[in-house]
A and B are shown apart, each in its own frame.
Chain A
Amino acid sequence: MTSLVEEINRLEARHGCPQQHFTSRVRWFSHLCRDWLFEVPLDLLADCVHDELVLQWASLLFDDSSTGGALAWLPPEDAGAHTGRLVYPGGQAMNQLYFQDVVVGEVPRTRGSPAQFELNGRIRQVAAARVDREGFVGVRSDYHCGVWKVPGRTGAAPTPLQVIRTNVPASCLTVSPHLPGELAVCTQSGAVYLWSVETGLQQLRQDPQTMFFRDHSPWRWSEFTAHPRVLSCADRTGLQCLDARAPGRCHLDFFKVGEEAGCQQGERVVLPMYLGRAHPSQHLVATQFAVYVMDERLPLVPVLKWAHMMKDPPLFAHVVPGGPGRSHKVLLGASRTQELLLLQYTGGSESACQLAGPPQKLHSISGCLQHLPTQLPHRHWLLQQRLGAPAAGLAAVPHARGQRESLLVFQLSEAGDVFYQTLTHEAAQPRAPDGEDKDEAASSTSPMLEAPFGSTPGSPPGSGGEEEEEIFYLSNLEVIVNEEEEEEEEGTPAASEETQHPEEPCASPHPLPAVPSPAAAVRYRRWLKALFRDWRELPRHTGVRGPPTISQKRLFTRKDLGPPAGTSDLHVRARQQLRHAMREQGRIRRWDLGPDPQPLPQPVEPAAWPDALSARLTAAWAGDLSHWWEERLGLNMAQRQRALRERRRRQKRARGHRSLSASFTSSVTYQSELSELSDGAPAAAPAPAPPLSPGHPEALPQVFTEAWGGSLAGGSAPGGSTPRRPPPSPPPAEPLLSSQTLRSRGIPKERRKMLRDYLAVCAEGPPEPLPEPPGSQPPSQGGQLCIPSSQSQLLGSQPRRKRPRMGF
């Protein structure tokens, strides 16, 4: 809709510009709407359009539909095992759900091929929680929410349990970390449900209004709390806790945007999250400016606040609980800008909450680009697009092997790629030299890419690596701690993480190095190869859109398409050239027109083709199209015009005054006007237009000459193809469409504007097809100008076609 309006605006701006073409969209729109559009009250329509535009604009500015993220990690059943499961969407429409076993290690490896489900909607959010032994995965798309059960044993297939459908788009789905098969669902109508797989839905709240003050956003969120029967319920203005046992009465204000939390003006809740794995009563509340850690026991007053200064509001968050005496790590991710921040904090029970060390920025997906080998420009562009796609999810997995601890951070992009980076743990040191030494910075990080999952040995053919979206690879922006530092670390075991000192720089992504390690480079190359292979295999039409073509079947009979009677040398050659050009998708320039006309080897016999099309093409070939055009249309039209006017006069006499509501008759008038106009009606025609003189209707042919002339050198007149260049006359449509004229024709006032617009559009209708080489008549006429078949005859045939309906 927006682009349509833009186009119409552009048309208006170019009003009178000879070099205009109609976009097909406008034409389609007029086709769709011309029968009813004038029946709709304009105010109502304008309101609706305005509302829709506001919505669209808001979603362009900030799209909250992916809040929560569509990447989830199901940890292994026992902490010792290394195989967990990554759940993420993929496919062209992000409607495939994948469950992929991943072996966690220094470099994560996929195991086997992913279990795959096809859903009928774009997956917005994937939430997962492990309760006892089983994992539960909630999947939210706009109008459907589903839940899957994933058995604890590795390799066991996930089973879908239940699906619910909502009338209003759902905005939130969270899985209970306490009870198996329980989820919380929110819809944009302000309803909050507790969804149990066994007992069904229980509505906890239904309130389209926001909680603390008025905010227009329909976004709602709900999370579980320390009490399995109490849910937190959020909108943009704050959070409340609801008791599912008595949802009507029991609620507690938990977080309010305002004074108590020291909020800024305009601050709104963007993402609440239950930090139950870190501390049973802590919650994270993220706004576009800051993150707050809240404690259920001390509502309204945040126990920790930090202004994150992210460019885009954080839509994804993940918490990695630290053991006793260790800091909890919170990862925040933004969608559009792919920002990723790591925040560490300690405390909660015995001590007050406090940040541990400065927050850190992790690598984003688009940062890989500089480490990829140099590409051809179009490939580089493709890569840039691919890597720059907005982020869609976030997950983190702690991993420990012996002394070495690390944190794997997975990031999902909207293109369906999953990337990872590894952060290694570093015990806190007093005044650690934080990457100040240059040599350290140069050798520290090595971004790596894992091979596409699809090409892992053992994956069945056909499941992986066929579609572009299937490419699933991991990028490892790994931190290899400087050797010097490692020695220091070993030398000072007292400063280990078990002491009260928090592991301040737990992970230290240093600046990107100039060169990735050789192993990383190999992985990059493997991934690139797979990406480009799949890109090539894509069907053409999904790639760059070629010029639209239309079927010629209905345009021409078989006889027309057959080889003309006298197949000469020229024809053969022309055909060959045409075929050649078509194969290469190029244009047949030389045939365009005669700034340097080809010497005609043989005069064409126009008499051989008596039909109209041939006549026209012959005329065009001879450079005499304008004349032919006048001849053809002017006569016809003038006759019809006269008949019409006659009839109108009779009607007028019979009825005297026309009622306003006579839309039927008024449409008759505008049809007639259309016909007047389509032949380039003369300007300044008061009510009874004078019969068209053959000299007048040059408007249309002139369009051609000017259009062509522009492309010729220096604006000099094209050689001989136009007979005359009359002085530029005022655009013909304007006087005709003046309100006076319209009134004089009995058009109701409220329709005049519409009619004028409509006519203005028609008047600037598509120019007639350019003259073509004689041998290529049928295909080039249809194909090159991309005018749908009915449209190509719009000017001439429309009044005729309409006539029976209009009561002529």
Chain B
Amino acid sequence: MDSLMERAAPCSAAQAGSALLPALHLPLLPPHLYRPATSHEHKLNFRKSKEACLTYIQDAMLQKQWKRAAEFLTFYIESLEKDFSTEYMGPSEMIWRIGTEILCHHSYSSMKDFNSFIEQMKTLGVKRYLKVCLEHAFHLLCNGQTDEAYQNLSLAESWRFGEQTTAQDKELKLIQAYRGLLDYYSWSKQKNVLLEYDKEGFEDLSVEQEMHSSFRKAAVNLKEIIQIPGVWDVFVKCYVDLLEFYGDHDEARQVLSEYAYNSKFPANPNAHVYFYQFLKRHGEPKKSLISVLKILHDIVPSHELMIDFNTMLQKSKKRKKRRLGLEVIFAALDYAGWKENVKAWSCLARQVKQIIISEKHLDWIKQEWNSRKGWWPAFHFSRYLAKRNWQENESLAYEKALVAGILLGKDCKYFKYVSHQGCKDQKKRLRTLKKFVNKHSPVYLRISGLSDSSVQT
């Protein structure tokens, strides 16, 4: 019918044209109103409406109108009809992602709906079967259905689909790892049960056996994922816990040092932290602890462990290590996150005080101070900060005032403000501080290099 009209319309127009000379141009209907779309146009329109539909869905979702989004999604499913897209994300993946999101938030959705939707999605896209499975397991876990999640993961693990299985190798590894994690979870539950029994004097062989089998399953899977370069903090921690429980310290140590020092892995400060904690747990000598923390200091000078590192180094008898300790604490205080850390400031104050009292190694302070004297006064020792620190945290103000008094002299704003306030409040602690700074005021000249220049001139 449509094609008939298409032919008829131009024909009549031509007749009209030939009959009346000169040509009389009657206003005809615009062609798109009577002519059916060509296949090309149709394709274009289809694409356009697909995009429009997607925009509506997005709009509804971003405004939390889940119901509206769901309605649009039912229309969008039609786009699967001609899914030749080579885009980054095809319609089937879109539907999966959007549908999951909607079902997570839609008030009327139930777990059952979610599961059936996901099952459909699994059959719809073989290319990301494992991804969908993994996501499904996460969702089940979030809803407390651990057993279902475990089943799901085991099922996914045994999935075979020709080349597709090898193509999704990465996902498969992840699925195995998460299954291992769930095994670990049940292992630790059983372990706790056994520990309870132990207290009460019971013995349960079946639980023990179950626990051991969980251990084996978990260990195999976890070990595998750890071999691949990546950030696997959760898996590594669990695996080390397992190994430690069964007394395999060498293996644990091996795993942790590999995780920290293998250059193929991304630089991960946590890896060093885990290694350090492991070594500390097993009473390793200070030397190895220090070497681990030294590397951590090189990567992340602002790490929380730097305080431990500094105290460790301060206690050391070696000069070089004490020198490093000063460097570490100065470097940590460079960072904005440490500005109000009382511990760090007291570490610095203590060490600076020690150095001054012993009157040795003043050049250490001088060297550290040299690169910082341009900006530390404004960064740490402004009058505004003195006021605020004094109001919020007096002991912080005290520690900082000591450092300021030594590094910048007794005329510096911070020290002046704090000592003035302290005198007003009759604080004994401040009186000793003031005395100390006044006594050692020549030190300031030496640190800041003023005495040298005055000698020269």
Show the binding face of A for B, using Cβ within 8 Å.
132-133, 177-180, 226-229, 245, 260, 264-265, 276, 280-281, 297-301, 309, 341, 358-361, 431, 433-436, 441, 505, 508-511, 715
Contacts and interface: CB of A to CB of B under 8 A. Distances in A.
Contact of A505 (B64, B66, B107): B64
6 contacts: A179-B378, A260-B266, A280-B336, A301-B268, A510-B63, A510-B64
B63 A360 contact: yes
A178 B336 contact: yes
A42 B285 CA distance: 79
B336 A358 contact: no
B375 A179 contact: yes
B101 interface: yes
A359 B62 CA distance: 6
A228 B375 contact: yes
Chain B residues touching A, range: 35 or more
B58 interface: yes
Given A298-B266, A298-B267, A509-B63, A436 B107 contact: yes
B336 A300 contact: no
Interface string B51-76: 00000001101111111000000000
B384 interface: yes
A179 B376 CA distance: 9
Contacts of B382: 132
Contacts of A301: 231, 266, 268
Contacts of A228: 334, 336, 375, 379
A227 B269 contact: no
A358 B88 contact: no
Contact of A431 (B107, B266, B270, B300): B107
A511 B270 CA distance: 44
Contacts of A179: 375, 378-379
A441 B67 CA distance: 12
A766 B362 CA distance: 89
Q: Which 9 A-B pairs have the closest CB atoms?
A: A280-B337, A361-B62, A132-B384, A434-B64, A297-B300, A436-B107, A133-B384, A226-B335, A280-B336
Counting chain A CB atoms within 10 Å of each CB, the highest count among B266, B302, B378 belongs to B378
Interface in B97-125: 101, 105, 107
Given A281-B337, A360-B62, 16 more contacts: A132-B382, A179-B375, A179-B379, A226-B302, A226-B335, A226-B337, A265-B88, A281-B302, A297-B303, A298-B269, A299-B266, A300-B267, A309-B58, A358-B105, A361-B62, A435-B65
A175 to B, nearest CB: 14
Given A228-B375, A433-B107, A358 B64 contact: yes
A135 B64 CA distance: 38
A435 B64 contact: yes
A177 B379 CA distance: 10
B169 to A, nearest CB: 16
Counting chain B CB atoms within 10 Å of each CB, the highest count among A179, A299, A359 belongs to A179
Contacts of A433: 107
Contacts of B59: 361
B292 interface: no
Contact of B269 (A180, A260, A297, A435): A297
B358 interface: no
Counting chain B CB atoms within 10 Å of each CB, the highest count among A177, A309, A436 belongs to A436
B12 interface: no
A297 B62 CA distance: 32
B50 to A, nearest CB: 15
B231 to A, nearest CB: 6
A132 B384 CA distance: 6
Contact of A264 (B88, B101, B336): B88
B349 to A, nearest CB: 21
Contacts of B61: 358
B27 interface: no
Contacts of B22: 715
Contact of A297 (B88, B302, B336): B302
Contacts, number: 90
Contacts of A178: 336, 379
Nearest to B270: A298
B334 A227 contact: yes
Nearest to A436: B107
B371 interface: yes
Nearest to A716: B22
B337 A361 contact: no
Interface in B74-95: 88
A264 B89 CA distance: 10
B445 interface: no
Nearest to A265: B88
B385 interface: yes
Contact of A360 (B64, B67, B385): B64
Contacts of A435: 63-65
A210 B426 CA distance: 60
Given A228-B334, A431-B107, A508-B64, A358 B375 contact: no
Given A358-B64, A715-B22, A132 B266 contact: no
Nearest to B334: A227
Contacts of A299: 266-267
A274 to B, nearest CB: 10
B196 to A, nearest CB: 27
Counting chain A CB atoms within 10 Å of each CB, the highest count among B62, B88, B335, B385 belongs to B62
Nearest to B101: A358
Contacts of A359: 62
Nearest to A715: B22
B39 to A, nearest CB: 29
A511 B266 contact: no
B54 to A, nearest CB: 9
Contacts of A441: 65
A264 B88 CA distance: 8
A359 B63 CA distance: 9
Nearest to A363: B63
A746 to B, nearest CB: 46
B375 A300 contact: no
Given A301-B266, A358-B61, A280 B66 contact: no
Contacts of A280: 302, 335-337
A276 B302 CA distance: 14
A508 B64 CA distance: 8
B328 to A, nearest CB: 15
A434 B107 contact: yes
B231 A298 contact: yes
Nearest to B299: A297
Counting chain B CB atoms within 10 Å of each CB, the highest count among A229, A276, A431 belongs to A229
Nearest to A509: B63
Interface in B299-328: 299-300, 302-303
Nearest to A179: B378
A583 to B, nearest CB: 37
Nearest to B22: A715
Counting chain A CB atoms within 10 Å of each CB, the highest count among B88, B270, B336 belongs to B336
Contacts of A509: 63
Contacts of A434: 64, 66, 105, 107
Contacts of B379: 178-179, 228
Nearest to B267: A299
B378 A180 contact: yes
Interface in B325-351: 334-337
A436 B66 contact: yes
Contacts of B334: 227-229
A346 to B, nearest CB: 15
Contacts of B107: 431, 433-434, 436
Contacts of B105: 358, 434
A226 B63 contact: no
A280 B336 CA distance: 7
A511 B300 CA distance: 46
B131 to A, nearest CB: 13
Interface in B406-443: none
Contacts of A229: 334, 375
Nearest to B23: A715
Nearest to B385: A132
